[in-house]
């Protein structure tokens, strides 16, 4: 009988997730697909399968299994057991922060702004 490796254990071993429970949660949350179909955490991984992993901020990874490992190894050993077919990550355009205004600086050690200082800052922002 051939020994199989669970999908959650494999994803943890190749360093896609920090822990096996995070990998299992991602699988349960429909973030991991095998050939665009949902799989379970107990699915036995086979060489040649392609998995699509969805991460926050719209990042997607497509990996192809080339080797089976069940123990977490160094990154160099782990990357020998899969091929990354992911598209390049596009940088997201960030909106300027509402909480940080680079033009509004106070001298170091000046203390907290007074009510008048706050009114002046509000008037500056409205202009």
Cα torsion through 106, 109, 113, 116, rounded to 10? -80
Could you tell me which residues are beta bridge partners of residue 104?
A: none
Domain-embedded: residue 121: no
Query: What is the band of 1 on the pLDDT scale with cuts at 50, 70, 90?
Result: very low
* Whole-angstrom distance, CA of residue 61 vs CA of residue 52: 6
pTM of the model: 0.68
Residue 93's pLDDT is what? 65
Domain-embedded: residue 64: yes
Q: Report residue 49 as tokens.
A: 């399968």
Name the percent of the chain lying above pLDDT 90.
Answer: 52
Domain-embedded: residue 71: yes
Nearest Cα to 47, choosing from 59, 62, 63?
A: 63
Domain-embedded: residue 114: no
DSSP H/E element including 16:
none
DSSP H/E element including 32:
strand 32-34
Domain-embedded: residue 44: yes
- Between CA 78 and CA 57, with CA 23 as vertex, the angle to 5 degrees is 95
Number of domains making up the chain: 1
Domain-embedded: residue 101: no
* Whole-angstrom distance, CA of residue 9 vs CA of residue 78: 13
Q: What is the pLDDT of residues 32-68, one digit of tens each?
A: 999 889 999 999 999 999 999 998 877 889 999 999 9
Q: Which domain holds residue 37?
A: 7-84
* Whole-angstrom distance, CA of residue 93 vs CA of residue 76: 32
Residue 97's pLDDT is what? 60
Domain-embedded: residue 73: yes
Domain-embedded: residue 11: yes
**CATH classification at residue 58:** 3.10.290.10
Residue 102's pLDDT is what? 56
């Amino acid at each position: 009988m051939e020994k199989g490796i669970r999908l959650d254990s494999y994803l943890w071993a190749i360093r896609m997730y920090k822990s096996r429970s995070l990998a299992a949660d991602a699988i349960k949350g429909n973030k991991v697909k095998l050939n665009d179909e949902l799989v379970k955490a107990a699915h036995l991984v086979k060489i040649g399968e392609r998995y699509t992993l969805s991460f926050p901020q719209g990042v997607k990874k497509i990996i192809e299994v080339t080797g089976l490992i069940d123990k977490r190894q160094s990154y160099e050993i782990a990357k020998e057991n899969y091929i990354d077919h992911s598209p390049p990550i596009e940088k997201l355009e960030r909106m300027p922060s509402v909480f940080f205004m680079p033009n509004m600086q106070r001298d170091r050690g000046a203390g907290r702004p007074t009510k008048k200082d706050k009114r002046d800052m509000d008037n500056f922002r409205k202009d």
